[in-house]
Structure 1
Amino acid sequence: MAHNTRTIARQVAQYSDYRDLLAPLTRTPQDISWELLAESLAEFQRTLMDDPKTQPLDSFLLAIEAGDWQKAKNALTDQQLQGLHLFRTKAGCIKCHNGPLLSDQRFHNTGLHYFGRKFEDLGRYEITGKNQDMGAFRTPSLRHLMATKPWMHNGLFTQLEGIIRMYEHGGARPRRPATLPAEQYYPTTTQLLTPFNLTPAERQALLAFIKAL
């Protein structure tokens, strides 16, 4: 998060909770190093790896690749399969949520920058200082989605239904404040987000699919 490794190790060593957790691996707080923290983080991240044979979407895709249509049919329910179709087509989720991690690893402005308001977060702009990066955030992975609540970069969303509704309207599109000086740049929502309409049944199907990720 833009810190240097020495600072991170020093900050972790300041907290008794972390020192207690790391005590079996260290003799003194001074032994808490970035190398130890990196190994600990890697060990934790290994627990997040899915077995493709048990993860619904991966099981479905592997079965399709193998031409095992019965196994593919059993991997996803009919409702989840409809949700996958909507994910790829009408809802357009796949424009950004694609690839093995269901993320294009690019930065986009979804309109949730709260410019000039409470919760303001200008995203990548805070690092680059470039106007075009104002309000842009990296597309998050949808893997383990139900274990990462609350959602969005600021954690302000607790209901997936609300997120889908927002995207049905083409994402958040805040208006430029009338009091903002003309020379002041104002971030605009990406044109990748376009409005779409789902029936109640389609909305539930899309939810069923993304909850299985």
Structure 2
Amino acid sequence: MGGRQAPTVYNTAFNHLQFWDGRARSLEEQAIGPIHNPIEMGETHENVVRKLGKVKGYQQQFRAVFGSDVNLQDLANAIAAYERTVISTNSAFDKYVLGDQKAMDEAAVRGMALFKGKARCILCHSGSNFTDNQFHNLGVPQVGPAKEDQGRYNVTRAEKDKGAFKTPTLRSITETAPYMHDGAFKTLEEVVDFLSEGGGSSQNLSALMKPLNLTPEEKTDLVAFLKALAGEPIKFQMPKLPK
């Protein structure tokens, strides 16, 4: 078990940095990290390249696509190329803003107004991908095996980054529970309750965190809007490789 919740693959193509702490500068760099991580694949890059190189299908595809035998860089290029196709699209929200006034119900429409206003969500979850691609300390309780996860600070060593984690996209958020960097909350309702209270306690709590004092009805409307960000199911078919 790792110390962090696996981040979503949805819309990673639009991230400036990868992982909760932003330690990878590209999808290609991110793709090869888990290979040698002892609590993930626990392998070596050299051994994985050697094993894939023995598979006829991969031999043929690498030569056809990259003009070379299996190698680590093109392995990363291939994984990253696929990840860039995993995009959340055509949600009820998208349909609504494109003119279909019936795409979202009244609760979701009220929730959208809260999202932009009283609930202050848009301060971090901004833009078409609903993230500022920045790092913030929300005072999230540490529930995983890591007793004190310093987040972005582990990368930058800047005091301002202690306990700060990357703002995740809210696209298809209903499919990516549990929530926060350590999976501290099982439901969107729990997340909204936490944020409404102004987050948790931390010496480095983001200045953006303020008590919101949302009413039960407002919380329900906000969750309704978040559910309206769910995209259409992604069509996927496993390619057949010759053995």
TM-score by length of 2: 0.65
Q: What residue number does 1:37 align with?
A: 76
Evaluate the alpha carbon distance shift between residue 26 and residue 97 of structure 1 in structure 2; reply closer, same or farther with a 3 A threshold: same
One of 155, 175, 179 as aligned partner of 1:151: 179
Paired residue secondary structure (2:102): helix
Q: Does 1:56 align with 2:92?
A: yes
Q: Is the 1:113–1:120 contact (alpha carbons within 8 Å) kept by the matching residues of 2?
A: no
Q: Does 1:211 align with 2:239?
A: no
Paired residue secondary structure (2:98): helix
Evaluate the alpha carbon distance shift between residue 199 and residue 127 of structure 1 in structure 2; reply closer, same or farther with a 3 A threshold: same
1:102-117 correspondence runs (5 A): 102-112=130-140, 114=142
Q: Which amino acid aligns with 2:196?
A: E
Q: Does 1:131 align with 2:123?
A: no
One of 19, 26, 32 as aligned partner of 2:59: 26
CA distance in 2, matches of 1:201, 1:7: 45
Evaluate the alpha carbon distance shift between residue 12 and residue 143 of structure 1 in structure 2; reply closer, same or farther with a 3 A threshold: farther
Moved more, 190-199 or 97-106: 190-199
Q: What residue number does 1:181 align with?
A: none
Q: Deviations over 1:119-158 (max 9, x none)?
A: 4210111011111111111211111111211211112221
Q: Is the 2:52–2:58 contact (alpha carbons within 8 Å) kept by the matching residues of 1?
A: no
Larger helix fraction of residues: 1
Q: What residue number does 1:198 align with?
A: 214
Q: Is the 1:168–1:195 contact (alpha carbons within 8 Å) kept by the matching residues of 2?
A: yes
Evaluate the alpha carbon distance shift between residue 19 and residue 157 of structure 1 in structure 2; reply closer, same or farther with a 3 A threshold: farther
Shift of 1:211: 1.4
Evaluate the alpha carbon distance shift between residue 104 and residue 44 of structure 1 in structure 2; reply closer, same or farther with a 3 A threshold: closer
Unaligned runs of 5+ in 2: 1-18, 37-43, 61-68, 230-243
Paired residue secondary structure (1:59): helix
Paired residue secondary structure (1:74): coil
Paired residue secondary structure (1:207): helix
Evaluate the alpha carbon distance shift between residue 129 and residue 61 of structure 1 in structure 2; reply closer, same or farther with a 3 A threshold: same
Shift of 1:48: 2.4
Q: Deviations over 1:80-116 (max 9, x none)?
A: 00111111111111111110110111111111275xx
Unaligned runs of 5+ in 1: 64-70, 175-186
Q: What residue number does 2:122 align with?
A: 94
- Alignment size in residue pairs: 185
Q: Deviations over 1:149-184 (max 9, x none)?
A: 12111122211111111111111114xxxxxxxxxx
CA RMSD in angstroms comes to 3.1
Q: Which amino acid aligns with 1:25?
A: Y
Shift of 1:62: 2.3
Higher Rg of the two aligned structures: 1
CA distance in 2, matches of 1:125, 1:113: 17
Q: Which amino acid aligns with 1:194?
A: K
TM-score by length of 1: 0.74
